[in-house]
């Protein structure tokens, strides 16, 4: 019966049946997966090629296929052909095969995914890397670390950094820090992001060191990750950067996108916490930039300081939807019952559907 099912799939794959139908999907592929020499490769091949094929149209068309086809494609021959096909297929087909393999086998696909990290096509390697991260397989830490260090594609190196962060194994931290020397700014950015996700306290000093001489966008990435790390050491590094920024600006120094850096530093302090962060964040309430004021309001509420509430409520009617959203999210996070009336009034006139939903959430959390 299994041989017959395999043969049916080969008939489907021969191009005689091409109609898309709904319903029965890759059942025969899964049925055949355990029979041949290399189940992973065959499962991937048949799951891929039978994905759009249905069962009943197949039965209807079988009479049009010479019986000799079934004889030619015996079980051993079919499986050998499938192995050869997946090994020699174009990169696009290999990528599709990997996707089907992950979909049908889940964690059992890990060995094949690890093997595909050595594929000659960077697209295939990248897909395998991302899938290993989503599956959170500890078995993939060593091979992914190898990709991070030595893959010829900067895209794959960057995806390896994120995959290691998704897996959550802190043994990857030294390799991620080492990649601060990578020639690709993009890869360094991925490593910075990964260290934040891992909350790598041991990486605070190297992270802070990256900000010296960096452009505003990269500094913002580092500050974001330091905020996620959340340790006192991370807080110290963020405060130093914010104080230096303000001092230079007060002295008339030319600074690359100072508002972006200030915004991320204030957000980070709101995440890290600590009473000593409050005075620095409060200074943002006096900023001539409304976005900095909005971000400062939100950070203060996270720090359990309500001194920024009047500014918060005043910005609820701002002309920019992005600032109104920032304030709505701040109020939703705080759940402060004293803001109920202002939130209800803002909701009554708010035209943006996203902001409206957040305001409704704020009302729910404040008990209306």
Same domain, 325 and 293: no
Pick out the chain residues at pLDDT < 50.
1-86
For residues 111 and 109, give the distance between their C-alpha atoms in angstroms, rounded to a whole number. Answer: 6
User: Residue 190: inside a domain, yes or no?
Assistant: no
Residue range 41-68, pLDDT digits in tens: 444 344 334 433 443 344 334 443 433 3
User: Residue 162: inside a domain, yes or no?
Assistant: yes
Same domain, 363 and 334: yes
Tokens of 181: 């020397």
Same domain, 278 and 328: no
Same domain, 299 and 320: no
Domain carrying residue 28: 1-88
- At residue 90, the pLDDT reads 87
Q: Number of structural domains, the chain?
A: 4
User: Residue 93: inside a domain, yes or no?
Assistant: no
Same domain, 270 and 246: yes
- At residue 98, the pLDDT reads 85
CATH of the domain at 330: 1.25.10
- At residue 107, the pLDDT reads 87
- At residue 368, the pLDDT reads 57
For residues 294 and 313, give the distance between their C-alpha atoms in angstroms, rounded to a whole number. Answer: 10
User: Residue 203: inside a domain, yes or no?
Assistant: no
Residue range 222-255, pLDDT digits in tens: 999 999 999 999 999 999 999 999 999 999 999 8
- At residue 96, the pLDDT reads 85
Q: For residues 184 and 158, is the Cβ–Cβ distance under 8 A?
A: yes
CATH of the domain at 140: 1.25.10.10
- At residue 183, the pLDDT reads 93
For residues 272 and 235, give the distance between their C-alpha atoms in angstroms, rounded to a whole number. Answer: 6
* Secondary structure (H, E, C), the chain: CHHHHHHHHHHHHHHHCCCCCCCCCCHHHHHHCCCCCCHHHHHHHHHHHCCCCCCHHHHHHHHHCCHHHHHHCCHHHHHHHHHHHHHHCCHHHHHHHHHHHHHHHHHHHHHHHHHHCCCCCHHHHHHHHHHHHHHCCHHHHHHHHHHHHHCCCHHHHHHHHHHHHHHCCHHHHHHHHHHHHCCCHHHHHHHHHHHHHCCCHHHHHHHHHCCCCCCHHHHHHHHHHHHHHCCHHHHHHHHHHHHHHHHHHHCCCCCCCHHHHHHHHHHHHHHHCCHHHHHHHHHHHHCCCHHHHHHHHHHHHHCCCCCCHHHHHHHHHCCCHHHHHHHHHHHHHHCCHHHHHHHHHHHHHCCCHHHHHHHHHHHHHHCC
Same domain, 313 and 300: no
Residue range 294-307, pLDDT digits in tens: 999 999 999 999 99
Same domain, 320 and 364: yes
User: Residue 179: inside a domain, yes or no?
Assistant: no
- At residue 88, the pLDDT reads 56
For residues 176 and 169, give the distance between their C-alpha atoms in angstroms, rounded to a whole number. Answer: 12
User: Residue 290: inside a domain, yes or no?
Assistant: yes
User: Residue 342: inside a domain, yes or no?
Assistant: yes
Same domain, 290 and 333: no
Same domain, 293 and 323: no
User: Residue 173: inside a domain, yes or no?
Assistant: no
Within 13 Å and on the Cβ side, how many CA atoms surround 363?
15
């Amino acid at each position: 019966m299994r041989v017959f099912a395999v043969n049916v799939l080969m008939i489907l794959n021969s191009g005689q049946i091409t109609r898309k139908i709904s319903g029965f999907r890759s059942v025969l592929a899964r049925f055949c997966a355990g029979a041949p020499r290399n189940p992973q490769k065959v499962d991937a091949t048949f799951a891929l090629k039978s994905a759009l094929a249905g069962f009943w149209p197949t039965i209807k068309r079988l009479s049009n296929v010479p019986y000799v086809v079934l004889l030619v494609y015996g079980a051993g021959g079919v499986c050998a052909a499938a192995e050869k096909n997946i090994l020699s297929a174009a990169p696009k087909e290999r990528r599709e095969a990997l996707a089907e393999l992950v979909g049908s086998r889940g964690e059992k696909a890990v060995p094949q995914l690890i093997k595909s990290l050595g594929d000659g096509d960077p697209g295939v390697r990248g897909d395998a890397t991302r899938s290993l991260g989503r599956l959170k397989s500890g078995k993939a830490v060593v091979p992914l670390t190898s990709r991070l260090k030595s893959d010829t594609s900067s895209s794959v190196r960057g995806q390896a950094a994120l995959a290691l962060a998704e897996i959550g194994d802190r043994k990857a931290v030294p390799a991620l820090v080492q990649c601060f020397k990578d020639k690709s700014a993009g890869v360094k950015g991925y490593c910075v992001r990964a260290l934040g996700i891992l909350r790598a306290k041991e990486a605070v000093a190297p992270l802070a060191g990256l900000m010296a001489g960096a452009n505003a966008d990269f500094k913002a990435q580092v500050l974001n990750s330091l905020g996620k790390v959340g340790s006192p050491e991370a807080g110290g590094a963020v405060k130093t950067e914010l104080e230096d920024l303000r001092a230079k600006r007060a002295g008339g120094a030319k600074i690359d996108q100072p508002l972006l850096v200030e915004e991320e530093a204030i957000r980070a302090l709101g995440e890290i916490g600590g009473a000593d962060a409050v005075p620095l964040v409060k200074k943002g309430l006096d900023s001539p930039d409304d976005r900095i004021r909005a971000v400062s309001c939100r950070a203060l509420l996270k720090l359990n300081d309500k001194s920024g509430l009047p500014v918060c409520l005043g910005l609820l009617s701002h002309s920019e939807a992005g600032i109104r959203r920032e304030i709505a999210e701040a109020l939703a996070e705080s759940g402060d019952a004293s803001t109920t009336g202002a939130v209800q009034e803002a909701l009554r006139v708010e035209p943006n559907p996203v902001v409206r939903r957040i305001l409704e959430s704020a009302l729910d959390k404040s008990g209306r």
